[in-house]
Amino acid sequence: MGHTKVDGKPNLKIRMKHRNVDRYVFFALALVSLLTLGTIIYFIFAEAVPFLDKMRLVPEEQGTTSKWGEHFTDTRLGDLFTSTWRPESDREEFFGTLPMIVATTVVTLGAMVLAIPFGLSAAVFVGEVGPRWLKDVFKTVLELLAAVPSIVYGFFGLIIIAPFVRVHLDVVSGSNGLTAALILSIMALPTISSLAEDALHAVPNTYREASLALGATRWQTIWRTIIPSASSGIIGAVILGMGRAVGETMAVLFVAGNAPFLTWNILRPLRPITSAIALDMQESVRGSAHFHSLFAMGALLLLITLIMNWTAEWFHGRLLKRQGLKGG
Amino acid sequence: MVIEAREKHGIEAPSRKDSVEDGMASTRDWVKRKFYGETIIDVEDLDFTYSKVRALQNVTITIPRDGVTAVMGPSGCGKSTFLRTLNRMYEVVPGAKASGTILFEGENLLKTDPVVLRHKIGMVFQRPNPFPKSIFDNIAYGPRIHGLRNKKKLMAIAEDALRRAALWDEVKDRLKESAFSLSGGQQQRLCIARALAVSPKILLMDEPCSALDPKASDCIERTTRELAEALTVIIVTHNLQQAARVSDHVAVFLAGGHLAEFGATREVFEDPESQEVGDYLQGRFG
């Protein structure tokens, strides 16, 4: 008894020490990633704020003076959400970001309309209905699809999809919102299918057995048990796919048409937020209103994705609560 | 009514193609008369393989309509597999194959539609597996998939099923709560109620108490006894005492998926025919 104690004590001490070292290392690493995220958010907003500031987010009484010339002080925050985008002009500059916001909305929704049904039915088919080997093939194909660089999707859209859309839908230009939505749907598909399939896979087999043993058909089991049980994961998959579509730049830049005019028509050339930033960044003078306006749009994009992530979290939490897996 | 149904389903005089088996059939008739009035399931030459492994070999057994039949045996003897052939639940495992005949209501159930079959033969699993839904929705699941929408009728069915599973008094005020808020034993009784809600003729129970404490097990056992008044219960258990307490008939499987003995529980326990079964029942192995 006493023997083991003597043997055990120093060992234990060393181990405790090591454990603490491990803890500090992991804590430091976690801190680094947190800091990185914080820095990104800080600088995006820091560069965006001068623009919003000029837009009189800060009341005039506090004495803000214009760096950019007389005409600009008349701009108000509300003007951000107007329809004219003319950042570099000899006469008067307009910073209406509405065309870009609408374009991003139209293109993303278009992509989701295509990608959600395809992505989810593929996940259900492969995960629940199809044979085992198909699942392996499918997973490999999805990983390949996800690994294709976005510029390659851009080429593909420009050379194959754009002419196809132009000829078959009889529109002036194949570079339009629909082409961008098609490309984005292909790009979001791996995310949606793969994560949705994971969510279905995570449903315990006992649920399937319970449902089948009650005389449910395979479809009833899928619709009434498996999909509801996996719904938080499925919603997460859709939101992440949507995040991919909202944030995608290169492929969209190639095929969206890039016309900064306000329209809800998906068959017109559109300029989503990401394209606008990518296109204008080299042209804008550093520190100018134009420059800061691009950061403001970037901040907006960041906010959209953050809100989407929070929504996903909220759905997840609500579901856990309803299933009684979480207190309350 | 009963006799009519019996004639309709050809249970007393099953029409068999091969007359070679007449001798076998008459032996079984004798067994039937000796132990019980009526047969609900008639298994003949059942073989079962998982991929290439044989799990059951030449199992021939007639399961009585009345009372509880316990299926026992050491681990890996195929008793759970046997239970799962009766409602075709083995089909969820790829590569599983059953051959032979299992006569139920005049038809070989290995050749019928498993969905229809499972309406009539319910199942309770080793671990309680309620759906992540409310208590009420768990019970309404079965009737709903069969097309029942009427809320009042669903409620009546739920109450009846919960009463029969001896759970009603404990949950009647919290039917809307998650099934996961119940204790393990309550969850298992909920699973029994869920199976009862589609009014099956047979209830299969696959070691229903293996994940429960003795008190909860006792409650399930008493519930099982009461259920056997109205339907046929076939229960797999590796617990000898439980089989002795709960069953009227007992089938003992031994290694390799052979049915070693079948008869009234008391007789099998007191005077087993083979030495091996005797050893098993005395707890020498298992």
Of A132, A215, A228, the CB nearest to B119: A215
A87 within a domain of the structure (yes/no):
no
Residue with more model confidence, A57 or B132: B132
Asked whether residue A201 is domain-assigned, the answer is yes
pLDDT of residue A180: 94
Query: pLDDT: is B31 or B184 the higher one?
Result: B184
- A214 and B94 within 8 Å at the Cβ level: the answer is no
Using DSSP, state whether B254 is helix, strand or coil: strand
Residue A86 covered by a domain: no
Question: pLDDT at position B33, please?
Answer: 52
A120 and A216 belong to one structural domain: yes
Q: Which residue has the tokens 């976005």?
A: A150
Q: In terms of domains, do A26 and A144 share one? A: no
Q: How far is B180 from chain A (nearest CA, A)?
A: 6
Q: Is the pLDDT of residue B250 over 70?
A: yes
Can you give the pLDDT at residue A35? Answer: 95
Whether the pTM exceeds 0.80: the reply is no
The tally of CA atoms less than 13 A away on the side-chain side of residue B202 is: 23
Q: How far apart are CA A102 and CA A108, in angstroms?
A: 10
pLDDT for res A72: 47
pLDDT on residue A64: 45
The pLDDT value given to residue B46:
92
The domains located in chain B, with CATH, are: 2-281 (3.40.50.300)
Per-residue pLDDT of chain A (328 residues; tens, 9 = 90+): 444 444 545 566 666 666 778 888 889 999 999 999 899 999 988 888 777 666 544 334 444 444 444 444 445 556 677 778 877 766 667 778 888 999 999 999 999 999 999 999 999 999 888 888 888 898 899 889 889 999 999 999 999 999 999 989 888 888 899 999 999 999 999 999 998 998 898 888 999 999 999 999 999 999 999 999 888 889 888 998 998 899 888 899 999 988 888 888 888 999 999 999 998 888 888 877 788 888 888 998 998 888 888 887 787 776 666 555 544 3
Residue A123, domain CATH: 1.10.3720.10
Is there a single domain that holds both residue A34 and residue A104? Answer: no
The residue of chain B with its CA nearest to that of A229 is B132
Mutation target among B145, B182, B202 for the A interface, most CBs of A within 10 A: B145
**Is there a domain that residue A300 lies in?**
yes
pLDDT of B10 strictly over 70: no
**Structural domain tally of chain A?**
2
Determine the distance in angstroms separating the CA of B243 from the nearest CA of chain A, rounded to an integer.
24
Mean pLDDT of B168-182: 92
Residue A167 sits in the same domain as residue A293: yes
Distance from CA of B27 to the nearest CA of A (A): 33
Q: Do A53 and A105 share a domain, yes or no?
A: no
Same domain, A56 and A110: no
Tell me how far apart the alpha carbons of residues A143 and A105 are, in angstroms, rounded to a whole number.
27
CB atoms within 10 A of CB A108: 26
Does A70 fall in a domain? no
Task: Tell me what percent of the residues of chain B surpass a pLDDT of 70.
Answer: 86
A36 and A153, same structural domain?
Answer: no
| A216 → closest Cβ in B123, B145, B195 | B145
**Cα B130 to Cα B124: distance, rounded to the nearest angstrom:** 10
Check residue A170 and give its pLDDT: 85
Q: Are residue A306 and residue A173 in the same domain, yes or no?
A: yes
What pLDDT is recorded for position B282? 83
- pLDDT confidence of residue B81: 92
**Segments of B9-149 assigned E as strands:** 39-50, 53-64, 68-72, 96-104, 107-108, 121-124
Shared domain check, A301 and A154: yes
**A14 within domain boundaries:** yes
Interchain contact A225–B (C-beta under 8 A): yes
Which tokens go with A119? Answer: 């992505």
Span B51-96, pLDDT tens digits: 888 899 989 999 988 889 999 988 888 899 999 999 999 988 888 8
Residue B137: what pLDDT?
Answer: 95
**Same domain assignment for residues A248 and A192:** yes
3-state secondary structure of B58: strand
Last residue of a domain, one of A13, A40, A62: A62
Give the pLDDT band of residue B286 (cuts 50, 70, 90): low
> Does A328 contact B at CB distance below 8 Å?
no
Closest Cβ opposite residue A323 in set B132, B142, B195: B132
Claim to verify: residue A53 and residue A122 sit in the same structural domain? no
Residue B273: pLDDT band (50, 70, 90) is: confident
How many beta-carbon pairs under 8 angstroms link A with B?
79
Residues of B engaging A, defined by a Cβ cutoff of 8 Å = 87, 89, 92, 94, 115-119, 122-123, 125, 127, 129-133, 141-142, 144-146, 177-181, 191, 194-195, 198
Full domain range(s) for residue A11:
2-62
Same domain, yes or no, for A108 and A48?
Answer: no
Q: Which long-range contacts (CB under 8 A, 24 or more apart) does B261-265 make?
A: B262/B31, B262/B61, B263/B35, B264/B35, B265/B70
- How many angstroms away from the CA of B51 is the closest CA of chain A? 15
Give the mean model confidence (pLDDT) for residues B114-140: 93
pLDDT in the model for residue B6: 41
Residue A73 placed within a domain? no
Nearest CA in chain A to B128: A206
What is the structure's pLDDT at A94? 75
pLDDT for the residue B77:
87
In-domain check, residue A156 = yes
